[in-house]
Amino acid sequence: MGKASTAILLAADLFLTPTPILGGTAFTSLRALNAAPHQYANRAVTVAGRFRGRPASNATTIAPLNRSRWDFLLDADDGAVWVTGIRPAGWDFDLDPRLPSDARLGVWLEVTGTVRVESRPGWSCARGSTCPRLWIEASDLRPARDPAQGQAQLPIRLPVQPPVVVFHDPVRDEANVAPATSVRLQFSRPMIPETFSEHIRIAYTSVRGTAAAPIPAFTAIYSQATRSLAIRFATPLAPRESVRVELLEGIVAVNGRPFEPWAFEFHTGE
């Protein structure tokens, strides 16, 4: 038996000068940010706008940022900006930048982060010969009020079902699995990697002698990009044994929903 160690505020400010800084963060509008990006470069700001995901290339004149799978466009009637560095998810919402259905929701979010500006000579711009590329490296986000409605949009989308395993290899009760195998699990929702620590149990279930070696030491690595967990053993498993893999209580998804304890078995060959 072993264990793995494994704000809200849509600024009404439409001026081109920076808004007052509160606690080191400037509350500003997308219009002001786009009109004078260099004025905000490398500064912490908070802006609000609608989540627009990753629109088709012909749907926006702003080139995709392509820094991560979770980059999304935040826009309002007076401007837009790309956001990177954070997944658009929270306790009671989970938005996918690549899902058109999520983009159509037009959910208002408040994003806090550092403004980054990149300029290159020769870029095509409405004015001047140098066009700045603008984005926000986000450190925090939360649901915001729709200024037209004057109220927060909560809940945005409340996941009813807890996270579940949607794929695993080996499959349940698979026979003749190579002792040198690893185990891979994929989840329906993004998970918090740290919660896997000490919550994975793997053991032989077949009858064995008292001198038989236990399950080898193993590591478990979670990939945010694929929502998958890879379990690798330090040495091959014993041949012709039944192996039980258990995920214990305490594992949690990014949206705060707990993972229900779950297990499966497979059988080694040779």
DSSP string covering 6-21: ---------SSSPPPE
Are residue 76 and residue 180 in the same domain, yes or no? Answer: no
Q: Any idea what the CATH number is for the domain that residue 205 is in?
A: 2.60.40.1220
Judge if 169 and 141 occupy the same domain.
no
The count of C-alpha atoms lying within 13 angstroms of the C-alpha of 114, restricted to the half-sphere facing its C-beta, is 5
Residues 194 and 66 in one domain: no
Answer yes or no: do 17 and 146 share one domain: yes
Beta-strand relationship, 79-84 and 108-121: unpaired
Query: How many separate domains does the chain show?
Result: 2
pTM beyond 0.85: the answer is: no
Length of the chain: 270
Boundary residue ending a domain (121, 152, 183): 152
Contact 93, 157 (CB under 8 A): yes
Range of the domain at 49: 7-152
Q: One digit per residue, pLDDT tens: the chain, 270 residues?
A: 444 433 323 233 333 333 444 345 578 888 888 888 888 888 999 999 999 887 654 444 566 667 778 899 998 887 889 999 888 887 667 888 888 888 777 888 999 989 998 876 655 555 444 567 889 998 888 888 877 765 544 444 444 467 889 999 999 999 999 999 999 999 988 889 999 999 999 999 988 877 888 999 999 999 988 889 999 999 999 999 999 999 999 999 877 788 999 999 999 998
Burial of 151 (0-12, 13-18, 19+ CB in 10 A): exposed
* Exposure letters 190-217 (e unless 16+ CB within 10 A, then b): bbebeebeebbbbebeeeeeeeeeebee
